[in-house]
């Protein structure tokens, strides 16, 4: 069974690398260049194309004054005004059982599943660990992932977590409390069950969140802020990021002023769910810039989606398909190089019981590597959960 970068927003409203049912055809359309360069038509592509009825609020912006860094590697915390060493040592997360796979080619080892307080018989997805390693953000749906993939129908299997709205996706946090994860539903989730949310990323101070809200299977990027330490409902982002195509998997820089995401947009139309590319937008002078293709290595794989940039801004990670990947899709990375990114390398390959993985996030100290994975549970049975590996 082939693993494709299918945006599950087209099914229900989540994002993953999943086995797809055979269709008998591969409608890819026109092929794009692997150079990662931006065409003139694409450069100004996304201005003012937000879906009708979405309430964009220009006051919803990242707070660039939340933190200050010194040359000595210390940071001013926004709450206490005290200085702390950065990066802090991430706490060791509560873990479940050891995983049979995936294979890490560099950096990390000993992959484990997360325990039952995070992973259930339902559908966990869209994992993202905070830079300090204390808080895991993830999406959760009560639907049976395996039944959906192999039988094409909706079946409720997962438990009803506190605060969950309906059966589709809500965003949750899991906070490390001793040897346990304390799980909480977030206020960014819409009260209307017809608008599921997932695929979130936060800035270093966890004051700004970029996430996806799905409307009729189409994803748009939203920005949420904290008020008094509590997450508030978000608003659709301005700056032409959102289009009539499907945007997905947003992630933010440490200061919250750079946004990376994937989309199937191209000038003149949508490329289709299996032909996504990586884009970047910057918050400048009170507005988000028109998105551009991410330059360099990240846009050279045949397929590319689910970006993540390390807290220090030196490495770009993504999920992709290419000839140097021995599986159907691998996790890649590329180093910072000038104003772009250097040559790609394979970091993680699906293996053993892990037949697909993606949605990488790494603690600022580099010690813990979180990911979402698809595991084989027997004939016609797969499960989507969240795992973690530790530095060698």
Maximum Cα–Cα distance across the chain: 61
Residue found under tokens 């005004």: 81
Q: What is the pLDDT of residue 83?
A: 67
| Distance, CA of 254 to CA of 352 (rounded, Å) | 34
pLDDT tens digit at each of 392 positions of the chain: 223 333 333 333 334 444 333 333 322 233 344 334 443 334 333 333 333 233 333 333 333 334 444 434 666 555 555 667 999 999 999 999 999 999 999 999 999 999 999 999 999 999 999 999 999 999 999 999 999 999 999 999 999 999 998 899 999 999 999 999 999 999 999 888 888 999 999 999 999 999 999 988 899 999 999 999 999 999 999 878 999 999 999 999 999 999 999 999 998 889 987 789 999 999 988 889 999 999 999 999 989 999 999 999 999 999 999 999 999 999 999 999 999 999 999 999 999 999 999 999 999 999 999 999 999 998 999 999 999 999 99
Q: What is the pLDDT of residue 74?
A: 64
Q: What is the pLDDT of residue 77?
A: 57
Q: Residue 112: in which H helix or E strand, if any?
A: strand 108-113
pLDDT, tens only, 15-48: 444 433 333 332 223 334 433 444 333 433 333 3
Q: What is the pLDDT of residue 10?
A: 31
Residues 3-19+92-391, CATH architecture? 6 Propeller (2.120)
Q: Encode burial over 52-74: b for 16+ CB neighbours within 10 A, e otherwise.
A: eeeebeeebbbbeebbeeeeeee
Q: What is the pLDDT of residue 291?
A: 95
| Distance, CA of 310 to CA of 4 (rounded, Å) | 25
The SS3 assignment for 311 reads coil
Structural domain spans, the chain:
3-19+92-391
């Amino acid at each position: 069974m082939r693993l494709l970068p299918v945006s599950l927003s087209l099914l229900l409203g989540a994002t993953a690398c999943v086995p797809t049912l055979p269709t008998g055809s591969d409608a890819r359309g026109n092929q794009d260049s692997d150079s990662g360069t931006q065409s003139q038509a694409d450069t100004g592509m996304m201005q003012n194309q937000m879906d009708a009825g979405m309430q964009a609020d220009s006051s919803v912006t990242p707070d660039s004054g939340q933190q200050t860094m010194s040359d000595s590697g210390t940071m001013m915390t926004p709450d206490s005004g005290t200085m702390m060493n950065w990066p802090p040592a991430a706490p060791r997360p509560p873990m479940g059982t050891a995983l049979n796979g995936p294979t890490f080619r560099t950096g990390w080892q000993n992959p484990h599943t997360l325990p039952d307080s995070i992973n259930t018989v339902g559908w966990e997805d869209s994992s993202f660990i905070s830079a300090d390693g204390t808080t895991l953000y993830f999406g959760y749906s009560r639907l049976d992932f395996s039944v959906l993939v192999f039988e094409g129908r909706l079946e409720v299997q997962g438990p009803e977590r506190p605060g969950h709205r309906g059966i589709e996706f809500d965003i949750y946090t899991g906070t490390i409390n001793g040897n346990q994860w304390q799980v909480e539903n977030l206020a960014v989730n819409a009260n209307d069950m017809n608008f599921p949310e997932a695929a979130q990323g936060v800035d270093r101070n966890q004051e700004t969140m970029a996430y996806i809200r799905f409307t009729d299977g189409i994803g748009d990027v939203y920005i949420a802020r904290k008020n008094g330490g509590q997450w508030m409902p978000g608003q659709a982002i301005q700056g032409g990021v959102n289009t009539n195509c499907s945007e997905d998997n947003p992630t933010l820089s440490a200061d919250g002023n750079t946004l990376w995401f994937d989309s199937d947009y191209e000038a003149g139309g949508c490329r289709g769910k299996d032909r996504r590319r990586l884009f970047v937008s910057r918050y400048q002078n009170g507005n988000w810039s028109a998105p551009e293709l991410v330059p360099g290595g990240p846009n050279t794989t045949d397929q590319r989606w689910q970006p993540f940039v390390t807290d220090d801004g030196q490495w770009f990670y993504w999920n992709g398909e290419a000839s140097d990947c021995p599986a159907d899709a691998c996790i890649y990375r590329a180093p910072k190089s000038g104003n772009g990114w250097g040559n790609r390398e394979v970091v993680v390959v699906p293996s053993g019981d892990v037949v697909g993985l993606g949605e990488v996030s790494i603690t600022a100290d580099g010690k813990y590597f979180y990911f979402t994975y698809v595991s084989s549970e027997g004939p016609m049975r797969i499960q989507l959960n969240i795992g973690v590996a530790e530095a060698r």
